[in-house]
Amino acid sequence: MSTVSLSFVDKDGNATVVKDAAIGDSLLDVAHDNGIDIEGACEGECACSTCHVILEEHVFEDLPEMSEAEEDMLDLAAGLTDTSRLACQVHVDAGFEGAVIRLPDEITNMLD
């Protein structure tokens, strides 16, 4: 299986490098597999916004368009940016090599 190296940066600016993110895995799975503190309250079902991440523009622009369900969930997310996505809905591809994925300062859990 092919992999890429990418980094997650938390709200305090601490970076965690993931050297073997498997192509095809969701960002949420990659985060959980590597001890990144990202909630994913709905377990990847696009029913909350707790896995909100902020992508670099070049990575964001190369992704498939988001679904209406993802757009609706992001509308409820705290700290929304122009390059926000839900980690459960984004799958790693070769374009993620060297990417920096930022975690927002706060999250909103629509399941609470």
Domain ranges, ordered by start, for the chain:
3-102
Q: Which fold has domain 3-102?
A: Ubiquitin-like (UB roll) (3.10.20)
pTM above threshold 0.85? yes
pLDDT at 108: 65
How do residues 41-97 score in pLDDT, each as one tens digit?
998 999 989 999 999 999 999 999 999 999 999 998 889 999 999 999 999 999 999
> Would you state the torsion angle of the CA atoms of residues 109, 89, 72, 85, taken in this order, to the nearest 10 degrees?
80
